[in-house]
């Protein structure tokens, strides 16, 4: 086991290396604050973005920033709100607080924060439920992505709440359950030690009582990443191949320039897992083709991972199609907030109790209007996310 003195030294070096990047945290903040979303046992903050022309039953994408980043900065550099306006979906940005982690990392290595029903994981789940109820979003199309520590926390959400998500995308991340202490976290980041593929698969199955269907997983990594070893990409794929009942060998392998891709498809030809490895790229999110903006750990390699991830999930058109069908932008001040779907009592009879209860809530109400907080809390209680 790594000595505690070595761990402290590595933490100090990490903080010093990241110190020059903190000035970028407030870039282009046009996100709104999600103030009331339950008991919030993990003590997280939350921001959100409602796209132009959002239709009823739109998808929701949950985006987790990396260490030293925040919601506004990651949104600005990744281009998620830009793509949301184009494709018509909502965004949720959980945000770490310095009181939880001085480097603003999500605590993906703390068992209390990555267990179903507790800590940061439950806080994020409460945020998601609040967004769905408040804005009338599609429960079948909820997706989650993140960078580095955000990716590792996204992996924890996919493992502990797999019934919630249609898919996930992990950028420079690590498999769920690969570390439970800070020393272990540094070792796994370097590609040292760790559980076998069978143990990782068992950890995933034990994280919830869910038995399928399972989220689709898109994995992204720089082949020259010296912060989180690229070996973690294959470890993530191996962890998820078990529940998807896929063979070890990929169904398809392709390459275009620095972008190499492995794809695992099921018998129906659906892509369930993919690994995207970017040759020569270090630690960060791949950017390109006019979507997003370069910055610390946001690397322009001519590949718009944000768009490709949304395409993998089936919620965004190709770049060529998008340019032909782009719609005029509407200033935020003139946007109309969407209405929740009308109650469907004839369908509620056949729904699980917590979903039936949510369908009885009235349409979206502006924040600050009397009763809104109570409606949200009632929804969280009905879903078993708040007592």
Q: Give CA–CA dist 156/325, Å, rounded.
A: 36
DSSP secondary structure letters along 14-43: HHHHHGGGGGGTTTT--PEE----S--TT-
Alpha-carbon torsion, ordered 78, 81, 87, 92, to 10 deg = 100
Helix (H), strand (E) at residue 168: strand 167-171
Q: What separation in angstroms does the CA of 328 have from each of 52, 53, 306, 307, 325?
A: 9, 10, 21, 19, 10
Distances (CA, A) of 97 to 46, 105, 159, 293: 10, 9, 23, 24
CA distances for 39 relative to 64, 85, 291, 362, 385, angstroms: 20, 31, 36, 22, 9
How many other C-beta atoms can be found within 10 angstroms of the C-beta atom of residue 8? 11
> Cis (ω within 30 of 0) for the bond into 213?
yes
CA 122 from chain centre, in angstroms, equals 14
Measure the CA dihedral 346/349/350/355, to 10°.
Answer: 100
217 neighbors 170 (Cβ within 8 angstroms): yes
Is 340 a known active-site residue? no
Q: Are 286 and 278 in contact (CB under 8 A)?
A: yes
Sheet strands side by side (includes 32-33): 32-33, 45-50, 90-95, 60-64, 142-147, 167-171, 216-222, 271-278, 259-265, 252-256
Asked if 197 contacts 172 with a C-beta cutoff of 8 angstroms, the reply is no
> Of 78, 81, 123, 148, which one is the catalytic site residue?
148
CB 46 within 8 A of CB 127: yes
Name the residues annotated as catalytic: 148
């Amino acid at each position: 086991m790594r000595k505690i003195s070595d761990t402290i030294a590595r933490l100090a070096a990490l903080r010093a290396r990241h110190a020059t990047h903190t000035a970028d945290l407030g870039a282009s903040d046009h996100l709104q604050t999600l103030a009331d979303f339950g008991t919030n046992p993990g003590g997280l903050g939350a921001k959100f973005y409602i796209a132009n022309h959002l239709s009823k039953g739109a998808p929701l994408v949950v985006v987790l920033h990396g260490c030293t980043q925040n919601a506004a900065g990651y949104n600005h550099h990744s281009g998620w709100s830009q793509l949301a306006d184009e494709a018509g979906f909502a965004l949720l940005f959980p945000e770490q607080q310095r009181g939880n982690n001085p480097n603003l990392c999500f605590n993906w290595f703390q068992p209390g924060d990555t267990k179903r029903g507790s800590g940061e994981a439950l806080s994020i789940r409460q945020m998601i439920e609040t967004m769905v109820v408040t804005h009338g979003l599609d429960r079948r199309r909820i997706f989650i992505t993140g960078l580095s520590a955000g990716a590792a926390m996204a992996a924890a959400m996919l493992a502990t709440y797999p019934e919630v998500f249609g898919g996930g995308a992990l950028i420079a991340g690590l498999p769920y359950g690969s570390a439970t202490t800070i020393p272990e976290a540094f070792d796994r980041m370097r590609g040292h030690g760790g559980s076998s593929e069978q143990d990782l698969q068992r950890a995933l199955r034990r994280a919830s009582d869910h038995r399928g269907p399972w989220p689709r997983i898109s994995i992204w990594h720089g082949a020259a990443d010296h912060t989180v070893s690229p070996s973690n990409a294959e470890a993530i794929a191996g962890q998820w191949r078990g529940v998807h009942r896929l063979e070890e060998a990929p169904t398809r392998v392709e390459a275009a320039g620095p972008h190499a891709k492995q794809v695992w498809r099921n018998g129906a030809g659906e892509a369930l897992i993919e690994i995207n490895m970017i040759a020569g790229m270090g630690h960060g999110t791949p950017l390109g083709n006019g979507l997003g903006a370069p910055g610390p750990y946001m690397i322009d390699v001519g590949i718009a991972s944000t768009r490709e991830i949304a395409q993998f999930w089936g919620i965004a058109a190709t770049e060529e199609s998008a340019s032909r069908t782009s719609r005029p932008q509407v200033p935020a001040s003139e946007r109309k907030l969407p209405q929740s779907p009308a109650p469907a009592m004839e369908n509620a009879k056949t729904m699980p109790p917590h979903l039936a209860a949510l369908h009885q809530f009235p349409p979206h109400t502006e924040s600050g209007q009397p009763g809104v907080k109570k409606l949200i809390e009632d929804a969280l209680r009905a879903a078993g996310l708040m007592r």
